[in-house]
């Protein structure tokens, strides 16, 4: 990884290391995560190496603003930082990603596919979690961001960056899939490429309105789901509300299905989802939502 020469700090390297260790512990603590590996992974990866040169544009509940100065210490807080402002693409909330990565549960030696890798920051954190005997495949649809991710991740021997439509990946069985954009249904490859015990974490939602001045959209309603392959079935659970940038690939959902999904979100009850029904029939009166060839059920059906 190469940090921009425009990044300068009034803190020594030893002091920045302390800041990063504190940051890792703090991001894990926001959602009550008691996992030393998650905290250590966030502490190990320099965030400034994945955000481009300053000035950085940060976003929070108070709105967006240009952060003054060139000191990377300002990046070690729970804020999103713009990667491509025109498309509404940002680096994401570190505490939210800590929660979702904890739900994914990457283990040393596993192969994890990161779909929607952006600039590669969370790919690097995944690389720390799977260790030198594991590997990460980082998929990014946008060619410019994919090139940036490849440069940013050049120092990680266990990471490969691929510019591709993430809804058509992965191409072989994997242990885990981590998706960082919102969709109205899981892609076939995500479900059918999971090894036994494999996990998928992805944001399910419905798209919000097009915002003036932005090429992209975000989910208006959304939740991060965890899917785990168990035998011939799939356990499912809602992790937390999540409103990611909307998918740009080729995963199409019919307007009537999208409308019914919106109604399901409005009606609530996601906390009762227990399984994913994939390309097989099940008792429809126990569905939270049923789409074309898939459904989320309140029953444990494995």
> Is 6 within a domain?
no
Domain count, the chain: 1
pLDDT (tens digit, 0 to 9) for every residue of the chain, 302 residues total? 666 667 888 889 999 999 999 999 999 999 999 999 999 999 999 999 999 999 999 975 556 789 988 999 999 999 999 998 777 789 999 999 999 999 999 999 999 999 999 999 999 999 999 999 999 999 999 999 999 999 999 999 999 999 999 999 999 999 999 999 999 999 999 999 999 999 999 999 998 877 665 556 788 889 999 999 999 899 999 999 999 988 887 788 899 999 999 999 999 999 999 999 999 876 677 899 999 899 999 988 76
Closest to 24 in 3D by CA, of 47, 40, 4, 46: 40
Distance between start and end Cα atoms, the chain: 43
Classify residue 247 by its DSSP letter.
P
Residue that is written with structure tokens 């899939």 in the block = 177
> Is 68 within a domain?
no
CATH number at residue 154: 3.40.50.150
> Is 190 within a domain?
yes
Residue that is written with structure tokens 């713009």 in the block = 82
pLDDT on residue 60: 58
Look up the domain containing 124 and give its range: 13-60+74-297
> Is 2 within a domain?
no
Gap between the Cα atoms of 160 and 92, Å rounded: 21
Gap between the Cα atoms of 251 and 38, Å rounded: 31
> Is 172 within a domain?
yes
- The number of residues making up the chain comes to 302
Sheet (strand 63-66) strand order: 63-66, 57-60, 80-84, 89-90
pLDDT on residue 267: 94
> Is 238 within a domain?
yes
> Is 3 within a domain?
no
> Is 69 within a domain?
no
């Amino acid at each position: 990884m190469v940090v921009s020469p425009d990044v300068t700090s009034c803190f020594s390297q030893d002091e920045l290391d302390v800041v990063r260790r504190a940051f890792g512990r703090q991001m894990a603590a926001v959602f009550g995560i008691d996992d030393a590996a998650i905290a250590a992974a966030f502490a190990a990866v320099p965030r400034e190496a994945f955000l481009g040169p300053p000035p950085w544009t940060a976003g929070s509940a108070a709105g967006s603003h240009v952060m003054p100065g060139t000191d990377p210490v300002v990046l070690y807080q729970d804020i999103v930082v713009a990667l491509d402002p025109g498309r509404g693409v940002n680096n994401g909330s570190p505490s939210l990603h800590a929660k979702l990565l904890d739900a994914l549960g990457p283990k040393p030696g596993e192969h994890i596919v990161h779909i929607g890798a952006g600039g590669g920051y969370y790919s690097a954190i995944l690389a720390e979690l799977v260790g030198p005997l594991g590997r990460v495949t980082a998929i990014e649809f946008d060619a410019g961001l994919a090139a940036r991710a490849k440069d940013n991740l050049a120092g990680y021997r266990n990471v490969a960056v691929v510019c591709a439509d993430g809804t058509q990946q992965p191409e072989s069985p994997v242990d885990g899939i981590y998706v960082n954009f919102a969709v109205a249904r899981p892609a076939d490859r995500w479900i059918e490429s999971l090894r036994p015990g494999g996990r998928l974490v992805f944001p399910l939602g419905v798209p919000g309105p097009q915002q003036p001045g932005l090429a992209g959209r975000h989910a208006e309603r959304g939740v991060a789901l965890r899917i785990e392959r168990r035998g011939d079935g799939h356990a499912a659970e809602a992790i937390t509300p999540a409103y990611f940038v909307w998918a740009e690939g080729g995963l199409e959902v019919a307007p009537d299905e999208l409308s019914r999904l919106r109604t399901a979100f409005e009606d609530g009850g996601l906390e009762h989802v227990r399984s994913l029904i994939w390309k097989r029939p099940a008792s429809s009166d126990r569905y939270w939502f049923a789409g074309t060839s898939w459904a989320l059920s309140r029953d444990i059906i494995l």
